[in-house]
């Protein structure tokens, strides 16, 4: 969890004793408590926040309140506050439980975070109200997407409230149809004649004449802020002045009139503190050179002067938005641009000195104090990355670049790393292009102070080439140059790269190319580059062994997979990174299962559960145990484990689909599989697409739709062939009869209705035992591929074409194979293979 949270942002606003009670609106809330979400939408000054805080306090139920400001347009920061508020309201440790998931800006991680959050709130028994105040300030589409996922899957005892001035980019029309939403609008919030009378009475003010009060209501249209403004006009003023409310710019006009009537020192205090999002008396004292800020703020609150108390134990306040706008307008009228800028600099520095560097940088950028913002961003860049708030950094970086400010190369390099981690390839290319241009014009990489960042940049550039499928030779050349240099220590050495936050397969991560298995040559070349300890960190090396193990398993090269996974497990434990070693234990369990050692698999998974404390990893292990129970034909235990870990993640859903097949609920299983497949296609998760398609074919076969099953199987094979997916098919025993039928039907090219698929690939799927004979154990994975093609009667040229090798390389492979097998000719090798 980021360590820069402001407690004032999660405080339910304090209700004044003289606030008008509005039972007619409380009834609306009470009658709609079964709605998932209530949206309170109206312009500023209609009492949205006051009404909501009044009603919720009356309910005497748990309230998680988050007050939004523009700096919250970062998913990590936004959800950190939400989780912190929910933990405080429910007196739980939900924020600590989910903290490990707040480390990555990847879309898949965010989806899993919401899923895990929903799982946690489902376990809560008491009603919880979650309020997001001023949600209209959120502009980040990722946060909107996460809120949609959260709201649409809310349990019945959790209710969300959004206050906003504007229409929201949420599927409200769909929610209306489903009766999930109730909308409180301006029409609801307008004061009635009776409420206006109560308002003046509670303020101990002389009630205007009936006609005047009616006139005020008509002209203000029941606008609460308008009534508050009129209450601040002195009683000695005539009814004609009440009629001055007809001014078209009522808020600006009256606010200026009110400000002008206050003592000069109070005016100065208000104007100077209007730049603060939160009014902490201590900060206000420093900013205004006073010692009585608390007393002054409390006096303003008592007078009802557009101020809201956020805390009662240690009072913290904020001004009403309308009041802030008027005060800042007055600030600009009274002082020159130079004076305003100087004061903004002073205030930002004060905020920074008090530890609120986020607000300090936001204020500096707002007033175009770019050099100061640059210094602070650079100072806190590592802290931002450690807290996961890279979206905030990227927003600041774009602001600087959009104003044509020349940012430090360190910022550009970190922008490049962030863009690559979230697969924003176009953006990453933009950063690389600017860095290359600046190297040409400034020679920044040759400057002593930039040596460490230049080393990091070259490393990242090579990584970018590898992960985006670029020219490996270029990457190799870069790395060889890197090896000739000595790594330069930097402050970034303390920032560990986490390659996997929650995925049950490393190959499902973005770094793992989402299941796009490399060719054997490319895979080996990449591994050789990455595993050079002089070049990369232990984290990278561990990840390399892990992805290699998963790839080798998928290609049914078990002995090699076992060796790689044991090394990956060892590294994972050294690094204390469950994101590395948990997927390897899952893979080890699958290997046990392939060797018909289900009991060993279960025993190992049980033992591993004692090694981790993160709840989402414990759930992952339990899902794998459920998978083992399904394979053992034990639906009761499988269902028990799945019930305890229910989630929308593909791993859970695909195991659940297998359980439904075991229970002969074939239609239900098909529905689940289609959901997973559709989502995987949207996310381009190759491994999951293939796995779901195989299960889809099994579902159709179970439903007696053999022709459809064969067509879907062909689809799965077409997707698997380019990457040589083998175990995904072989691990599903119920697919074998369908595979046999497919092989028979596809052998005749004249009658087959399907486009041809590589015969070499299909042969790997026919006889599982043949892949594990004694000769295969003598040969490397690539030698096995060459040997298999040789046995099929394929010529050297054809082998070279199929495996993307030169004929000379093929001849070298054949010579090595003959030597290992103890033969001296092609014919003898083929005969040996066919024995």
Helix (H) or strand (E) holding 228: helix 224-231
32, 137: one domain: yes
Residue at token pair 């060459």: 786
124, 156: one domain: yes
* pLDDT tens, position by position, 798-814: 888 877 778 888 888 88
Question: What is the structure's pLDDT at 100?
Answer: 84
Q: What's the whole-number mean pLDDT along residues 203-217?
A: 64
Question: What is the structure's pLDDT at 377?
Answer: 95
Q: What is the CATH number of the domain that holds 811?
A: 1.10.10.10
184, 198: one domain: no
Number of domains, the chain: 3
69, 216: one domain: no
Residue 2 has pLDDT above 50, yes or no: no
Question: What is the structure's pLDDT at 741?
Answer: 86
Q: What's the whole-number mean pLDDT along residues 35-49?
A: 84
Question: What is the structure's pLDDT at 834?
Answer: 60
* pLDDT tens, position by position, 255-266: 666 677 778 888
Strand order of the β-sheet with 37-41 is 62-67, 128-133, 158-164, 37-41, 181-184
Confidence of residue 244 (pLDDT cuts 50, 70, 90): very low
43, 103: one domain: yes
Domain for residue 76, yes or no?
yes
132, 208: one domain: no
Q: What's the whole-number mean pLDDT along residues 505-521?
A: 75
Question: What is the structure's pLDDT at 674?
Answer: 95
Question: What is the structure's pLDDT at 256?
Answer: 60
Which positions ≥6 away from 636 have C-beta within 8 Å? none
Integer Cα distance of 95 and 223 in angstroms: 39
Domain for residue 272, yes or no?
no
Q: What share of the chain is helix, strand, coil (3-state, %, to 5)?
A: 65, 5, 30
Question: What is the structure's pLDDT at 521?
Answer: 61
Confidence of residue 770 (pLDDT cuts 50, 70, 90): very low
99, 204: one domain: no
Between these two residues, 45 and 120, which has the higher pLDDT value?
Answer: 120
Instruction: Kindly report the number of other CB atoms within 10 A of residue 526's CB atom.
Output: 19
Instruction: Kindly report the number of other CB atoms within 10 A of residue 528's CB atom.
Output: 12
173, 216: one domain: no
Question: What is the structure's pLDDT at 332?
Answer: 85
Percent of the chain with pLDDT over 70: 84
317-319 and 181-184 as β-strands: parallel, antiparallel, unpaired? unpaired
Task: Report CA torsion sign: 172, 178, 181, 186.
Answer: positive
Question: What is the structure's pLDDT at 1?
Answer: 40
Q: What's the whole-number mean pLDDT along residues 408-413?
A: 93
| Residue where a domain stops, chosen among 120, 154, 189 | 189
List beta partners, residue 37: 160, 181
Q: What's the whole-number mean pLDDT along residues 446-451?
A: 88
What does the mean pLDDT of the chain come to? 82
Domain for residue 152, yes or no?
yes
Domain for residue 524, yes or no?
no
Question: What is the structure's pLDDT at 468?
Answer: 64
Percent of the chain with pLDDT over 90: 29
Domain for residue 420, yes or no?
no
- Locate 10 and state its tokens: 């999660």
| Residue where a domain stops, chosen among 189, 219, 234 | 189
Between these two residues, 833 and 589, which has the higher pLDDT value?
Answer: 589
205, 175: one domain: no
- Locate 108 and state its tokens: 């898949």
Domain for residue 114, yes or no?
yes
The angle formed by the CA atoms of residues 757, 587 and 571, to the nearest 5 degrees, is: 125
Q: Which of 632, 625, 567 is nearest to 601 (CA)?
A: 625
Q: What's the whole-number mean pLDDT along residues 397-411?
A: 93
Classify residue 506 as exposed, middle or buried by CB count within 10 Å of its CB (0-12, 13-18, 19+): buried
- Locate 621 and state its tokens: 């292990």
Residue at token pair 């503190």: 273
Between these two residues, 368 and 51, which has the higher pLDDT value?
Answer: 368
Between these two residues, 153 and 319, which has the higher pLDDT value?
Answer: 153
Integer Cα distance of 802 and 798 in angstroms: 6
90, 29: one domain: yes
The mean-pLDDT minimum among 28-37, 226-235, 775-784, 805-814 falls in 226-235
Between these two residues, 650 and 787, which has the higher pLDDT value?
Answer: 650
Domain for residue 271, yes or no?
no
- Locate 319 and state its tokens: 């001004």
Residue at token pair 């936001």: 362
The mean-pLDDT minimum among 378-392, 462-476, 561-575, 727-741 falls in 462-476
HEC per residue, 452-517: HHHHHHHHHHHHHHHHCCCCHHHHHHHHHHHHHCCCCCCHHHHCCCCCCCCCCCHHHCCCCHHHCC
Question: What is the structure's pLDDT at 830?
Answer: 75
108, 211: one domain: no
Domain for residue 209, yes or no?
yes
Question: What is the structure's pLDDT at 254?
Answer: 52
Confidence of residue 307 (pLDDT cuts 50, 70, 90): confident
* pLDDT tens, position by position, 599-656: 888 889 999 998 988 889 999 999 999 999 998 888 999 999 999 988 888 999 999 9
Between these two residues, 109 and 352, which has the higher pLDDT value?
Answer: 352
Task: Compute, in degrees rounded to 10, the torsion defined by CA atoms 399, 402, 407, 410.
Answer: 70
Confidence of residue 788 (pLDDT cuts 50, 70, 90): confident
Residue 700 has pLDDT above 60, yes or no: yes
Question: What is the structure's pLDDT at 22?
Answer: 81
Residue 229 has pLDDT above 70, yes or no: no
Residue 56 has pLDDT above 80, yes or no: yes
Q: What's the whole-number mean pLDDT along residues 92-106?
A: 85
224, 117: one domain: no
Residue 331 has pLDDT above 70, yes or no: yes
Q: What is the CATH number of the domain that holds 59?
A: 3.40.50.300
Confidence of residue 235 (pLDDT cuts 50, 70, 90): very low
The mean-pLDDT minimum among 71-75, 103-107, 702-706 falls in 103-107
Integer Cα distance of 368 and 365 in angstroms: 5
Integer Cα distance of 115 and 574 in angstroms: 29
CA distance readout (Å), 634 to 96, 592, 625, 628, 638: 35, 18, 11, 9, 6
Structural domain for 779, as ranges: 773-834
Question: What is the structure's pLDDT at 236?
Answer: 39
| Residue where a domain stops, chosen among 189, 213, 231 | 189
Residue 215 has pLDDT above 70, yes or no: no
């Amino acid at each position: 969890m980021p360590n820069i949270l402001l407690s004032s942002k999660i405080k339910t606003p304090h209700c004044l004793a003289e606030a008008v009670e509005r039972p007619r609106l409380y009834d609306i809330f009470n009658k709609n408590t079964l709605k998932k979400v209530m949206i309170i939408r109206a312009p500023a000054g209609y009492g949205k926040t006051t009404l909501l805080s009044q009603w919720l306090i009356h309910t005497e139920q748990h309230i998680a309140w988050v007050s939004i400001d523009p700096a919250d347009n970062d998913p990590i920061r936004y959800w950190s506050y939400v989780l912190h508020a929910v933990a405080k309201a429910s007196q739980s440790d939900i924020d600590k439980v989910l903290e490990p998931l707040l480390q990555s800006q990847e879309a898949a991680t965010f989806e899993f975070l919401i899923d895990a959050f929903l799982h946690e709130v489902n376990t809560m028994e008491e009603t919880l109200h979650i309020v997001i105040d001023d949600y209209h300030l959120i502009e980040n589409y990722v946060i909107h997407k996460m809120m949609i996922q959260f709201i649409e899957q809310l349990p019945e005892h959790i209710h969300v409230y959004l206050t906003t001035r504007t229409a929201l980019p949420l599927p409200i029309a769909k929610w209306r149809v489903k009766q999930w939403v109730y909308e409180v609008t301006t029409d609801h919030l307008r004061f009635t004649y009776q409420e206006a009378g109560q308002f003046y009475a509670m303020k101990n003010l002389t009630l205007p004449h009936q006609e005047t009060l009616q006139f005020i209501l008509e002209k203000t249209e029941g606008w609460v802020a308008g009534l508050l403004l009129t209450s601040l006009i002195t009683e000695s003023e005539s009814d004609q002045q009440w009629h001055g409310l007809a001014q078209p710019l009522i808020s600006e006009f009256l606010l200026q009139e009110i400000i002008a009537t206050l003592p000069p020192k109070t005016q100065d205090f208000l104007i100077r503190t209007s730049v603060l999002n939160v009014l902490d008396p201590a900060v206000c004292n420093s900013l205004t050179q006073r010692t009585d800020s608390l007393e002054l703020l409390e006096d303003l609150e008592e007078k009802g002067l557009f101020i809201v108390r956020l805390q009662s134990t240690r009072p913290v306040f904020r001004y009403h938005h309308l009041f802030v706008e008027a005060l800042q307008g007055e600030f600009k009228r009274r002082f020159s641009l130079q004076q305003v800028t100087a004061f903004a600099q002073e205030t930002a520095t004060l905020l920074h000195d008090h530890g609120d560097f986020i607000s300090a940088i936001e204020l500096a950028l707002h007033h175009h104090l770019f050099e100061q913002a640059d210094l602070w961003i650079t100072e806190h860049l590592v802290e931002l990355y450690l807290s996961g708030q890279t979206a905030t950094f990227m927003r600041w970086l774009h602001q600087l670049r959009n104003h044509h400010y020349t940012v430090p190369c360190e910022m550009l390099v970190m922008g490049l790393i962030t863009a690559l981690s979230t697969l924003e390839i176009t953006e990453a290319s933009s950063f690389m292009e600017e860095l290359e241009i600046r190297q040409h014009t400034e020679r920044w990489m040759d400057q002593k102070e930039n040596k460490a960042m230049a080393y990091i940049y070259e490393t990242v550039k090579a990584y970018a080439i590898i992960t985006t499928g670029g020219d490996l030779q270029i990457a190799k050349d870069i790395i060889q140059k890197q090896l000739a240099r000595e790594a330069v220590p930097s402050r970034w050495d303390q920032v560990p790269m986490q390659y996997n936050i929650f995925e049950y397969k490393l190959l499902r991560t973005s770094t793992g190319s989402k299941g796009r298995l490399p060719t054997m040559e490319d895979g080996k070349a990449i591994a050789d580059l990455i595993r050079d300890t002089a070049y990369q960190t232990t984290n990278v090396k561990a990840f390399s062994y892990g992805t290699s193990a998963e790839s080798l398993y998928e290609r049914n090269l078990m002995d090699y997979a076992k060796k790689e996974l044991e090394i990956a497990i060892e590294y994972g434990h050294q690094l204390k990174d469950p994101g590395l070693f948990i997927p390897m234990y899952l893979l080890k369990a699958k290997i046990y299962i392939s060797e018909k050692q289900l009991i060993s698999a279960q025993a190992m998974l049980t033992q591993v559960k004692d090694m981790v404390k993160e709840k989402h990893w414990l759930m992952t292990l339990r899902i794998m145990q459920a998978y083992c129970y399904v394979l053992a034909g034990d639906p009761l235990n499988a269902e028990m484990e799945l019930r305890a870990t229910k989630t929308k993640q593909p791993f859970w859903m695909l195991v659940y689909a297998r359980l439904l097949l075991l229970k002969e609920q074939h239609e239900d299983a098909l529905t689940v599989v289609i959901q997973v497949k559709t989502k995987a296609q949207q996310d381009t998760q190759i491994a999951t697409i293939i796995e779901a398609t195989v299960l889809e074919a099994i579902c159709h076969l179970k439903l007696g739709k053999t022709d459809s099953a064969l067509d879907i199987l062909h689809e799965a094979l077409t997707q698997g062939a380019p990457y040589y997916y083998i175990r995904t098919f072989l691990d599903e025993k119920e697919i074998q009869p369908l595979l046999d039928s497919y092989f028979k039907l596809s052998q005749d090219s004249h009658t087959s209705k399907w486009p041809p698929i590589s015969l070499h690939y299909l042969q790997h799927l026919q006889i599982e035992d043949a892949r594990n004979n004694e000769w295969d154990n003598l040969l490397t994975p690539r030698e096995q591929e060459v040997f298999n093609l040789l046995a099929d009667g394929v010529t050297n040229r054809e082998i070279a074409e199929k495996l993307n090798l030169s004929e000379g390389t093929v001849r070298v492979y054949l010579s090595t194979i003959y030597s290992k097998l103890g033969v001296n000719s092609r014919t003898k090798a083929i005969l040996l293979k066919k024995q």
